Amino acid sequence: MSIWEYANPVKFIKTTDRMMPYLAVGAVVCLVSGLVWGFFFTPDDYRQGSTVKIIYLHVPAALMAINAWMMMLVASLVWIVRRHHVSALAARAAAPIGAVMTLIALATGAIWGQPMWGTWWVWDPRLTSFLILFLFYLGYMALWEAIENDDTAADLTSILCLVGSVFAVLSRYAVLFWNQGLHQGASLSLDKEEHVADVFSSPLYVCIAGFVLLFIALVFLRTQTEIRARRARALIARERLA
């Protein structure tokens, strides 16, 4: 029994089908309870008023935007090393989700920034590196779409993902060097000074758990779709030959 058994598409679909209800229900429960708790049962911040509550969407989305890229990186490595098709398809499935998460983080940040910083957008290091991350997602998805042969596309995009990761990290430090920026430090950290107050952080953890579950469920669902689409295409091709 090893994890590589799940590289078998049939086994993958069967297992994820069994996990899907739990994931979906867990995601809904966590998101609804976390958001309701966060929006209605936490006090207003003494400086930011009620705008602070956008944190329950902004922080989890930003976290998942980065983690989605990380997951794609791992999946790409697995594809390059062991050539399991499910892995390549999972990386492909995660990209649009990551892009949407990046967009949510940018949009909620802008909505929060308007009343707080007095501007929708500043060229702050964190904002800029998120915008660049979004561009990386776009390029990655465009490359997948552009290449007809599936294996070639998987190979090329996984190498792009590896190179892109290095350059994404480099860009992160480059823009950090370039402008010190307005964005506050990490919201969740072991450092007490930096950490948001406990009243705000408990619902935040629930929201993060909800986003993680949602992400996993969506990736599973989209990977299944990709597998089935590829099967359907293979069937059509066989029909045509016969």
Partner 1 sequence: MIALLMRDLRLAVRAGGGFGLGLAFFLIVTVLVPLGVGPETALLSKIAPGILWIGALLACLLSLDRIFALDFEDGSIDLLATAPLPMEGIVTVKALAHWLTTGLPLVLAAPALGVLLSLPQGGYFWIVVSLLVGTPALSVIGTFGAALTVGLKRGGLLMSLLVLPLYVPTLVFGAEVARRGGEGLVVQTPLLMLAGISCGAVALLPFASAAVLRINLR
Minimum Å distance from CB 159 to partner 1? 6
Which range, of 66-74, 161-169, 214-222, 230-238, touches partner 1 by CB under 8 A? 161-169
Task: Answer yes or no: are the C-beta atoms of 200 and 34 closer than 8 Å.
Answer: no
Which range, of 11-19, 112-120, 132-140, 184-192, touches partner 1 by CB under 8 A? 132-140
Contact between 76 and partner 1 (CB under 8 A)? no
Q: Which two tokens stand for residue 81?
A: 């090393």
CA 144, CA 84: separation in Å to the nearest integer?
17
Q: Which long-range contacts (CB under 8 A, 24 or more apart) does 69-72 make?
A: 69/98, 69/133, 69/136, 69/137, 69/161, 69/165, 69/168, 71/219, 72/98, 72/140, 72/161
Place of tokens 């596309």: 153
Phi, psi of 45 (to 5 degrees): -70, 145
Minimum Å distance from CB 133 to partner 1? 9
Contact between 81 and partner 1 (CB under 8 A)? no
Minimum Å distance from CB 94 to partner 1? 18
Contact between 16 and partner 1 (CB under 8 A)? no
Of 73, 110, 135, 188, the one binding partner 1 (CB under 8 A) is 135
Of 116, 143, 188, 221, the one binding partner 1 (CB under 8 A) is 143
Task: Answer yes or no: are the C-beta atoms of 211 and 155 closer than 8 Å.
Answer: no
Task: Answer yes or no: are the C-beta atoms of 60 and 101 closer than 8 Å.
Answer: no
For partner 1, the closer CB: 146 or 236: 146
For partner 1, the closer CB: 45 or 155: 155
CA 84, CA 129: separation in Å to the nearest integer?
31
Restricted to residues 165-204, the positions that interact with partner 1 (CB under 8 A) are 167, 170-171, 173-175, 177-178
Interface ranges with partner 1 (CB under 8 A): 132, 135-136, 138-139, 142-143, 146-147, 152, 155-156, 159-160, 162-164, 167, 170-171, 173-175, 177-178
